[in-house]
Amino acid sequence: MRILVTGGAGFLGSHLCRELVKQGNEVICVDNFYTGSKNNLEDLLTHKNFELIRHDITFPLYIEIDQIYNLACPASPIHYQKDPVQTTKTSVHGAINMLGLAKRTGARILQASTSEVYGDPEVHPQVESYWGKVNPIGIRSCYDEGKRCAETLFFDYWRQHHTEIKVLRIFNTYGPHMHPDDGRVVSNFIVQALNNSDLTIYGDGSQTRSFCYVDDLIRGMINFMSSPVALTGPINMGNPSEFTILELAEKVIRLTGSRSKIAFRNLPQDDPKQRKPDISLASRDLGWGPTTELEEGLIETIKYFRSIQK
C-alpha cells in the first residue's frame, strides 16, 4: 500500500512510519517540522520505500495514495499555545485538505484525535458516547475545539461523501522520540531527573493520568485502520491504569537513580483533574488493549533520553 502519514516526523508519526515501512508498505511522510524533526526518521531517510516531503497541511496536497494517517498537529500545550491560530488552522484546514485528498483518491483516512475532546470531563472513565465539557474560549481551546471540529468534518465527509474514515481518540502516550522540552509530564520528569534537578508538579500531584506506551498505541492504530468500513469510531485508545502525578514522579526518580527532589507549583488554567480512557470498544471491536507496564515503558523512554543527552 502507498500510505501518507502527515506529521510523520513527530513523536507518534515517526514510530508509525517505521512500523508501516517494516510491514512492507510504501510510506510518504509529510511534515512542516514545526515540532517534528528529521532526527526522528534518521534510519528511514535512505530506505527505498520511504519518502519525506516538507509541506504544511493547511495547504492542499496533490498525490496518489491508498491510505492517510492524519497526525499533523502540535500536541503539547507549550507548542500548540505558541501559535494558537496556526494550531486551529492545522486541525481544521488540515482536515479539510486531507479529507479532500481522501475523497479524490478514494483513500481511507484515519484522524489522530485526542482525549482533549472530552475537556475537563464529568464522566469517569471517559466513554466515546460522552460529549465532553470543553471551554470554547480558553487557552487550550485552539487544540481542543480544533480537534472537535476536525472530528465533525470527518463524520460529515463520511455521511455526505462516503469517505472511509477512522477517528481515533488518543490518550496520553509516551515513549522514545518525545520532545525533551515539550512540557509533557513524562518527558519533563525524565529530563529533570537525568539532570538531578527538581521534578516540578503542578498542583498537589493528586491529579491522575493514564499513560500508554507508544508501541501499544501504534499497534492499535494500524489495527483500527484495517478494520471493517463500518467501524468509523470514534474509538478511545490509551492505558486505563491510573497513576497520580506524584506516583509517576517517584517512579521516575527511582528508575533513573536520580538525586532530584519534588517541587510543587500552581495548577495552570483548564488543567483536567482526572483523565482515564474506557477502552471497552477497542477491546470488543478490535481485540486491542495495552500490554506494556508503565515501568517497562519508562525504562525504554529513559534509555532514549539518556542517549540524546550525550
Ligand X SMILES: NC(=O)c1ccc[n+]([C@@H]2O[C@H](COP(=O)([O-])OP(=O)(O)OC[C@H]3O[C@@H](n4cnc5c(N)ncnc54)[C@H](O)[C@@H]3O)[C@@H](O)[C@H]2O)c1
Residues in touch with ligand X (CB under 6 A): 6-7, 9-13, 31-36, 56-58, 71-75, 90, 94, 112, 114, 170, 172-173
Q: Among candidates 11, 17, 102, which has minimal Cα distance to 65?
A: 102
| Cα 112 from Cα 110, distance rounded (Å) | 7
Please, are residues 173 and 10 in contact by the beta-carbon 8 Å criterion?
A: no
Cell of 190: 525524565
Q: How far is CA 293 from CA 20, 220, 239, 242, in A?
A: 24, 16, 9, 12
Residues assigned a catalytic role? 143
Min dist. Cβ of residue 292 to ligand X (A): 14
Judged by CB, which is closer to ligand X: 168, or 260? 168
Min dist. Cβ of residue 200 to ligand X (A): 19
Return phi, psi of residue 119, to 5°: 65, -135
Judged by CB, which is closer to ligand X: 35, or 126? 35
Judged by CB, which is closer to ligand X: 147, or 258? 147
Q: Among candidates 150, 155, 168, 151, which has minimal Cα distance to 225?
A: 168
Min dist. Cβ of residue 261 to ligand X (A): 27
Judged by CB, which is closer to ligand X: 3, or 258? 3
Min dist. Cβ of residue 15 to ligand X (A): 8
